[in-house]
Amino acid sequence: MPSLPRIRSRSRDIARDVVAPPAREPAELRAEASGLTWVHLDAPTKDEATTLAGRFGWHALDVEDVLSKRQRPKIDEYDDYRFVVLHFPVYDKAVHRLNAGELDVFLGHGYLVTLPTVELLPVTRLFGRCSDDDQLRATLFGKGSGYLLYHVLDDLFDYCFPILDKIGHKLDAIEDDIDEGESQEIVRDISRAKQEIISYRKIVKPQRPTLRVLERHMERFLPEDLELYFDDLVDASERIWDLLDNYKEVVEALEATNESAISHRQNDVLRLLTVFSAVLLPLTLVASVFGMNVHFPGEGTAAAFWVVVGTLVAVFAGLVAFFRWKRFI
């Protein structure tokens, strides 16, 4: 029995072709007056997350949560720090839909670490403003890590409202299209709007209880006169949820209205087709009678032809007048 040829291993060749990604240093800001440090890094790798965990003393399970791609919103309490996971909407231009962008936060005395799984523009921009503006950095860093976290989350929630405004404008445009009679063309627009609302609700709903818990866990990291700040974040989350509920009802009503308009137009078409069929059927019957291969009075004469034509016209006019009287047409 002939032996099969051996497949040459290419593991060594592949190993030579793989190039390790360049090591990244997390961006870091520090206020000398307050001693507060803000570390920010987008989509950390395992080595980068492990290095940060060794520096700040995080639990190994939290590092696993940071590297996990499917982590629910939550808050874990430890003696010297808090680990927070929150989700925010991010528009993916590649697939044209809203996805959940995860923000992992480590909050401790003297430091704040933000590790989003994808770039969250409000966090990146706030970090850049603090880096360029010493006065702003002193203001935000001077009241503790909890106050700095509040401003990070406040910018993220402010970023949510323009996305809601775009959905609202889409619903207004859909309503205008329905009024203009473009029912068939807007079925796809309604489907996309519903998909965006559903995706947004899936992002916001799980973290509503997490924000309430976070409000109670901030007492250690905020001065007493600033404890009400996180209540403002809860209010913002509830406003977003209320708007989504409203948009959900609006898009369902628009969908029902559009379906009614389409059904009404289809009924009009079917009514016209029925009228045409009802008018043409007697004419076809008369023409069939005179077209039979039998002898009838006046056969082969011009007078018979005009009698047949007159009969067809009379039947046609009578049926049309009858349908007009019944308001079928």
Q: Domain 20-262: give its CATH code.
A: 3.30.460.20
Q: CA-to-CA distance for 55 and 51, rounded, in angstroms?
A: 6
pLDDT tens series, the chain, 329 aa: 444 445 444 444 444 444 545 557 788 998 887 889 999 999 999 999 999 999 999 999 999 999 987 788 999 988 889 999 999 998 877 777 888 899 999 998 889 999 999 999 999 999 999 999 989 999 999 888 888 999 999 999 999 999 999 999 999 998 888 877 666 678 888 988 999 999 999 999 988 888 888 877 777 666 656 667 788 888 999 999 999 999 999 999 998 888 887 787 777 778 777 777 777 787 787 777 777 766 767 666 777 778 778 887 888 888 778 777 877 66
Predicted TM-score of the model (pTM)? 0.74
The predicted structure's pLDDT at residue 87: 93
What is the per-residue pLDDT for 161? 92
Q: Give the burial string for 241-280 (b: 16+ CB within 10 Å, else e).
A: eebbeebeebbeebbebbeebeeeeeeeeeeeeebeeebe
pLDDT value at residue 1? 43
Task: Give residue limits of the domains in the chain.
Answer: 20-262, 272-325
Are the C-beta atoms of residues 116 and 43 closer than 8 Å to each other?
yes
pLDDT at 184: 64
pLDDT at residue 178 in the model: 80
Q: Cβ atoms within 10 A of the Cβ of 181, count?
A: 10
